[in-house]
Amino acid sequence: MLKNITLNGFKSFAKRSSLDFGSNVTAIVGPNGSGKSNIVEAFRFVLGEQSIKSMRGKTGADLIFNGSKSISKLNRAKVSVVFNNTNRQFKIVTDNNNVMSLDFDEIEISREVFVDGVNKYSVNGTEVRLKDVHEILSCVHVGASGHHIISQGQADRLLSSTSKERKTMIEDALGLKVYQLKIRDAEKKIEKTKVNMREVELLRKEIAPHMKYLKRQVEKIQQSQELKNKLSGEYVGYLRLQDSFLHDQYTQLHEKQSQISKNIEDLDSVLTTFGPEIKENTSEHVRAIQKEKQKLQELQSTKESVSRMLIKFETTFEIISQQTTQDTREDSQSSFVKINQEDMEQFIRNCNVFIDSALKTDSLEQCYQFLGKIKNSLQTIKNSFAYPENTRTSDSSKDSEHEKNEILQNIESTKKELQKILDSINAQTSVISEMESQLELYRDSLFDKQKKRYEIEKERARIVSEQTVLHEKLQRVRSERQRFEEEIQEGITLVGREILSFKDTKVLDENIESIPSYLEEKRRMIERLKIKLEESGALGGDDVLKEYEEVTERDVFLEKELHDLQTAMTSLQDIVSGLKETLEREFENGVEKINTQFKDFFAVMFGGGSASLFTVVISQKNQTDDYEENEGKDDVVTGLDIEVSLPQKKIKDLAMLSGGERSLTSIALLFAVTQVNPPPFLILDETDAALDEANSRRYGDMIQKLAEYSQLIVVTHNRETMSRASALYGITIGSDGASKLLSINFSQAEEHSK
């Protein structure tokens, strides 16, 4: 399976050097110090050896060609090894523990080291981890313990190793490295899980006091939350009813205000019909009546003047008539009667009274009556006169008669004129009466209108007063609405925005008369709850609740994580237990097979005798600190010891064997191990140096037998061993101070020699 190895800048190989392994046995020869062992160390290097000391160096820079007189120092070294993988023996384990074959005909594993000590691994040109290299090599029974590489001076490594180390090397040889890697990974995960569990427990312990404190605070807040929920419920009912009540009040008052405004407009429209011309029209009527009355007074004055004139004419006529009668009487009787002065004065007073009464009356009949009374008074005076007999002459009688006729004519004309004046007075009186009647009717109508206007103005004043009251009520409702909005904001601050759900809540079926008292009762209840809520300290508790929820969630998360870690650790422990059981079972079976082969090889090498491996129990207290970490789980660990029995010697202790015997014993054991799980190649670095000629032949026979199962790479000075090789590489130091390769294929050489 091993095809070749290429060295470039590794130790003494300054230039690129490649060794092909086409035969089963390849021998590498050369003088001491030529660099033969550097090829063996190159195998160790590329296969993942981490101990620089085992490769005869102190740091990674010691593995790089250090320069010579003609070649400068290099800054990196690279070794590549190529395996044949046509049968797909190389596999890799995925993260899901699925085994997947590497689908390549060749597997090239490379390792580079730089001056700063940095290492880089790659498989087929892809950079990988060292762990990946170990997993790939473990599939073909090549492990990091190096049981397949036996260097000079380490031939008895299996013999000189401790029982624990020997067990590890045998496990590697048996191909149990995969289980060990899995166990190691699982144990690392268990330890990491334990660390995580401790960290999680510490975190839970750290937050426990704070969470306890927050829990007490939350309990208080929860008590307050009950008050808040109760307050929220009371708020919703109260706000819904208050909102509906204020809305209804505002709607009713607004409708009333609109109706009152309309009524006032209607009344103002009616009042415009009662203009100021009403009073002015009345004054015009009064002035017209006064004007007509003034005309009547003028007629009365004219009537009085005419009446006086008439009375004067009549009086004159009476006087003349009386005088004529008296003259006649005197003439006839020749006598004269003297009138008493008092009677004359009484007569004058009566005439004046009758005349004044006649002037004052508007009735013509009454005027005639007064005139008749005046006539009677004149008749009385006439009867009181005494006339002397025959004092007047007939001439005087004639003159009196003529005068009387003139007076009568004047009287008649005056009466006619007076009658006309009286008719005018009556007509004017009728006009005035008619005008006064119309004025009275107009005044009555005006009074009705004024009364109606007064009533309208009174009604308007009442409505305006009602409007003022209504406006004040509306202002109070608006103030209540503003206070209501402020109360909503206060409620939101106290219990949250959920109280706004009152808008979607059905109004309680309450009588309108009981709503104010009901609301007042609810308001007092809400105020009491608000006081209790403020005293409980619920305000601002959201931060505490949020912090408590966060801490609780973190604690729950940590608890779940702890449970998951415990579950994972239990699962890992079960896996480790299963792997250990599998490892132990496979190991026991492998040791049994090795012992069978070991016994046969030992008898061949020594011409008899026996040898075997057996398990020993090692106390944990005698082990390193790595085992102390596992104290309490496994009290003991096991190892492997070797028991030998030489023919013709009573020797069982390995320490009593000679150098040659130890070499033969280790070789027999190595060959026995390779027979159980043959590695793809086996490197023997001068393991035959301590053998004599007879044992060298036996050693050569064993090499040929082993070559049937594994490729052998033998570094030797022994001619017998060289004769058993099919290909021979010679190593020498050139003039430039670097190692060089010379190769010979014996089969080709024989054909060439023939």
Whether residue 576 is predicted with pLDDT greater than 50 in this model: the reply is yes
Q: CA 32, 34, 36, 41: dihedral to nearest 10 degrees?
A: 110
- What is the residue whose two structure tokens read 């503003």? 482
* Cβ–Cβ < 8 Å for 515, 241: yes
693-696-700 Cα angle (round to 5) = 145
> Would you list the DSSP string of 64-132?
B----SSSPPPSEEEEEEEEE-TT---EEE-TTS-EEE---SEEEEEEEEETTS-EEEEETTEEE-HHH
Confirm if 588 and 609 have CB atoms less than 8 A apart: no
- Residue 102: per-residue pLDDT: 84
Burial class (CB in 10 A: 0-12, 13-18, 19+), 378: buried
Separation in Å, CA 447 to CA 348, 432, 451, 456:
52, 21, 6, 14
The pLDDT, as a whole number, for residue 7 is: 94
Beta bridge partners of 6: 18, 80
Please write the tens of the pLDDT for every residue from 379-427: 666 665 544 444 444 555 666 677 778 878 877 888 888 788 888 888 8
What is the CA angle 423-426-430, rounded to 5?
A: 140
**Token reading at 230:** 């109760």
What is the distance of C-alpha 633 from the center of its chain?
52
CB count in 10 Å sphere of residue 428:
19
The pLDDT score that the predictor gives to residue 109 is: 94
Q: In degrees rounded to 5, what are phi and psi of residue 127?
A: -70, 135
Report the C-alpha gap between 676 and 709 in whole angstroms: 10
How far is residue 4's CA from residue 21's CA, in Å, rounded to a whole number? 5
Q: Which positions ≥6 away from 353 have C-beta within 8 Å?
A: none
Exposed/middle/buried for residue 655 (C-beta within 10 Å: 0-12, 13-18, 19+): exposed
Alpha-carbon dihedral 272, 275, 278, 280, rounded to 10 degrees: 180
Q: Is the pLDDT of residue 202 over 70?
A: yes
Q: Which pLDDT belongs to residue 632?
A: 44
In angstroms, the CA 274 to CA 433 distance is 27
Q: What is the pLDDT of residue 286?
A: 79
As a whole number of angstroms, the distance between CA 84 and CA 74 comes to: 31
**Please, which contacts does 695-701 make with residues 24 or more away whose CB atoms are closer than 8 Å?**
695/605, 695/660, 695/664, 696/720, 696/721, 698/604, 698/605, 698/664, 699/667, 700/724
Whole-number Å distance between alpha carbons of 233 and 409: 121
Return the pLDDT at 751.
65
| 573 vs 578: CA distance, rounded Å | 8
Q: Check residues 398 and 307 and name the one with the higher pLDDT.
A: 307
Work out the pLDDT band at 622, boundaries 50, 70, 90: very low
Give the model's pLDDT for residue 389: 45
pLDDT at 65 > cutoff 80 = yes
Please name which of 131, 125, 94, 92 lies closest in space to residue 109, comparing C-alpha atoms: 125
For position 10, what pLDDT does the model report? 92
Structure tokens at 725: 């090789």
Q: How far is CA 275 from CA 98, 272, 445, 679, in A?
A: 115, 6, 14, 136
Q: Are 654 and 669 in contact (CB under 8 A)?
A: no
Tell me how far CA of residue 255 lies from CA of 245, 498, 547, in angstroms.
15, 33, 54
Among 155-164, 282-291, 369-378, 388-397, whose mean pLDDT is lowest?
388-397
Residue 728 in 3-state DSSP? Answer: strand
Name the residue with higher pLDDT: 11 or 402. 11
At residue 627, does pLDDT exceed 60? Answer: no
Q: Alpha-carbon distance 38 to 41, whole Å?
A: 5
Confidence of residue 620 (pLDDT cuts 50, 70, 90): low
pTM of the complete model: 0.47
Would you report the helix, strand and coil content of the chain in percent, each value rounded to 5? 65, 15, 20
User: Which span out of 280-284, 388-392, 523-527, 714-718 was modeled with the highest average pLDDT?
Assistant: 714-718
Six-digit token pair at 661? 């015997």
For the chain, the C-alpha Rg in angstroms (whole number) is 79
C-alpha dihedral (517, 522, 523, 525), degrees to nearest 10: 130
The packing angle between helices 515-536 and 177-271, to 10°, is: 150
Residue 5 bridge partners (DSSP):
19, 81
**Averaged confidence pLDDT in the chain:** 78
pLDDT digits (tens, 9 = 90+) for 358-375: 777 666 667 767 777 777
Nearest to 35 by CA among 7, 70, 54: 7
Q: Please tell me the distance from the alpha carbon of residue 21 to that of residue 514, in angstroms, as a whole number.
A: 112
User: How confident is residue 625, by pLDDT bands cut at 50, 70 and 90?
Assistant: very low
